[in-house]
Amino acid sequence: MSTRWIAGNQARLLENGEEFFPAVFAAIGAAEREVIVETFILFEDKVGLQLRDALVQAARRGVRVDLMVDGFGSSDLSADYIAELAAAGVRLRSFDPASRILGMRFNVLRRMHRKLVIVDGVRAFVGGINYSADHLADFGPLAKQDYAVELQGPVVADIHRFAISAIRAQDGDDGRPGQGDVERPSAAAGDVAALFVTRDNLEHRNDIERHYRAAIRSARKSVLIANAYFFPGYLLLRQLRRAARRGVQVRLILQGEPDMPIAKAAASLLYGHLQRAGVEIHEYCKRPLHGKVAVVDDDWSTIGSSNLDPLSLSLNLEANVVLRDAAFAATLRTRLEHLIANECRRVAPLPTSRWAWWEELTSTVLFHVLRRFPVWASRLPTHMPKLHLATAESACGHQHQHQPQSDAR
């Protein structure tokens, strides 16, 4: 687990597409040398068209532009969309795409789930927001609730180096910065200490989860987690229970109106076990929750792409930023407590019944299964994913516009 805290950063919380998209598009519009974007989902809707236009304009004025999308989450970009990017000089790469079989997509495992933007090596965005109109309130009842952070300062250099390596190592070079890359130290921009933490299937299999566990283990007053897809492993569940039992206020904000009903069904299997230890569970009911954030005590917080479920913790490629700053933590906590007070319902613990022994037994079995999930996940089908540089010709099988109701992570 990385312990290299980087001081001197500035962090700004961005809530939902209304705050996130204008900030990202303005940063791209001001780019002078380089733009790197990674996203799980890019839909060809009004948001995706805005992103395309911003990247095309940047490329046409001489900015080096790299865009990486996931081959599962962004599988239906049209040939025209891709051709316009390519004609402007944007390098669009698809992470491990696969053809449909009988209209179905089976390349669901080990996805590139990160959401990153780096501009000129001095400004970065990290979070859970995809490029789709369902992150805007005017999408309607299925609009998602989500968060990201805008960063300036020395930590951006770490994010920038990572993004260059991730995108270009499979282009046939060694992944190191080359001509045209922005590689310069960033001056101090604020008082925030930050860590950029990733998860992969090679050297960093559980780094994000370990940072969560370490923060919960050291908590003295409060733990507040908002997470869309909650079905974590045994060790993280144990730390949540232990924190609550030693008097820490532990609150979870989970989906009450899920875009994927199975997510709520899975999480609800854990409610009784957590509540018996004193954990409070609140279901967000205004619209689908898509956030992946947490605040612990007065100054620890995290924002990123990682859910607390088997896909994110054991299979997908993820990226979070961990922050040490009382002001930022207070801002995030205030936003989350607003949800609890106004847009959530607290799940009441079920009364003790004569079947409590059976519930405890089934919980014990479930948690021993969870305890082993990193092991069984590592045995699922694996391969070395490849990045594919997209061209208009390669998009001939992807003519239909994606509908935003499907992939939600």
The residues that are catalytic are 113, 115, 120, 290, 292, 297
Count CB atoms within 10 A of the CB of residue 94. 27
First to last CA, the chain: 25
β-sheet bridge partners, residue 289: 145
Could you tell me how far CA 286 lies from the centroid of its own chain? 21
3-class SS letters over the chain:
CCCCCEEEEEEEEEEHHHHHHHHHHHHHHCCCCEEEEEECCECCCHHHHHHHHHHHHHHHCCCEEEEEEECCCCCCCCHHHHHHHHHHCCEEEEECCCCCECCECCCCCCCECCCEEEECCCEEEEECCCECHHHCHHHCCCCCECEEEEEECCHHHHHHHHHHHHHHHHHCCCCCCCCCCCCCCCCCCCCEEEEEEEECCCCCCCHHHHHHHHHHHHCCCEEEEEECCECCCHHHHHHHHHHHHCCCEEEEEEECCCCCHHHHHHHHCCHHHHHCCCCEEEEECCCCECCEEEEECCCEEEEECCCECHHHHHCCEEEEEEEECHHHHHHHHHHHHHHHHHHEEECCCCCCCCCHHHHHHHHHHHHHHHHCHHHHHHCCCCCCCCEEECCCHHHCCCCCCCCCCCCCC
